[in-house]
Amino acid sequence: MRQLAHALQSIPPAEARALVLDRCAPLPAEPVPLTEALGRRLAIDARCDQGIPRFATALMDGYALRAGDTPARLPVRGEARAGQPHGAPLEPGTSIAIATGAPLPEGADAVVPFERTREHDGEIEVDAAVEPGSHLRPAGAELAPRATAVRAGTALGAEEIGLLAACGVAAPACHRRPAVAVVTTGDELVPPGEPLGPGQVWDSNALLLAALAAEAGATVGSVGHAPDDPVATHDALADAFAADLVLACGGISVGRHDQVKPALAALGVAEVFWGVAMRPGRMSWFGVRDETLVFGLPGKPASARAAFELLVRPALDALGGRRG
């Protein structure tokens, strides 16, 4: 009757999720090398201090010149290549040979492609007037100096990592990954690969939940198991409290051999709710101890998976810095 009463008092799924999220604050920030930042979420806006590009560059191989000097015959007074600027201002009435991606010399305001000129005796002949800004990419064309490159809360994918690298950001400030501990309970559970005794099954929930947590961006610190014994269950759960989030799977009901709820109470975990109006996953449990979130998930794999998606994944997203 006690179990039935709790089932009748189950709260709606949306309310359960809201109660969880009300207790989730993004974890502190830490610098993360770009080589390790894939999938992490930014804790603060990342800015592009110098802009992209930080100087005007040629979009085509040709000659840098002053548009106002054309049409004309112009002497060629040097060369600029990517990584090797000309190094001196462009004198009026002259040109500089320039390669794609090279910095535009000071004083130049246009590039004329090779194929639109004729070169002879150290001079180029430009038959038509060139428009200012032709065939060049101005400084800051993609991002102005001090502009926000990637906003806080963004999950860093390949494109964001490439952009941060282009901005010179080597170690953006990202929220710490949530640390998760998994504890399964039950005399019937045996690690996969070990021989099964009478009435025993392989413990699929331990690996299922660890994999789901890792997919959600968490660091799975420990995966433990306890038989249906009060002391063993208490000790296994006590060892899990170094994590930000604890997943206890099985033993969460009110049967004679269900030890999780008494163990959590003894460990000082305050119950927030028990029972969610959903199938599968109805007997899901949630509580907190200090900053640690604790979820009691049903033992059936389908129920554990449903409860994880409804309650645990949103919690991990919020801890990891997802916004909105």
Above 80 in pLDDT, residue 133?
yes
pLDDT at residue number 255? 65
Helices (H), the chain: 2-8, 13-21, 158-166, 204-215, 230-239, 260-266, 301-307, 313-319
Nearest to 322 by CA among 209, 244, 217: 217
pLDDT at residue number 272? 96
Stretch 293-302: mean pLDDT: 95
- What pTM does this model have? 0.83
Q: Give residue 1's pLDDT band: very low, low, confident or very high (50, 70, 90).
A: very low
Query: Phi, psi (5° rounding) for residue 159?
Result: -65, -45
Task: Please give the single-letter amino acid code of residue 4.
Answer: L
Stretch 55-76: mean pLDDT: 97
153: left (phi over 0), alpha (psi -120 to 50) or beta: left
Above 80 in pLDDT, residue 7?
no
Within 10 angstroms of residue 124's Cβ, the number of other Cβ atoms is: 22
Stretch 130-141: mean pLDDT: 97
pLDDT digits (tens, 9 = 90+) for 226-247: 998 999 999 999 999 999 999 9
pLDDT at residue number 252? 83
pLDDT at residue number 276? 96
Stretch 129-155: mean pLDDT: 96
Burial of residue 60 (CB within 10 Å: 0-12, 13-18, 19+) is middle
pLDDT at residue number 228? 86
Domains in the chain with CATH codes: 2-27+176-319 (3.40.980.10), 34-50+147-174 (no CATH), 57-137 (2.170.190.11)
pLDDT digits (tens, 9 = 90+) for 173-186: 999 999 999 999 98
Cα–Cα distance between 89 and 62 in angstroms, integer? Answer: 17
Task: Please give the single-letter amino acid code of residue 26.
Answer: P
pLDDT at residue number 160? 98
Local structure of residue 143 (DSSP, 8 states): B
Cα–Cα distance between 57 and 24 in angstroms, integer? Answer: 47
Report the chain's terminal Cα–Cα distance, integer Å. 40
Task: Please give the single-letter amino acid code of residue 280.
Answer: P
3 state SS of 166:
helix
pLDDT digits (tens, 9 = 90+) for 253-283: 766 767 889 999 999 999 999 999 999 999 9
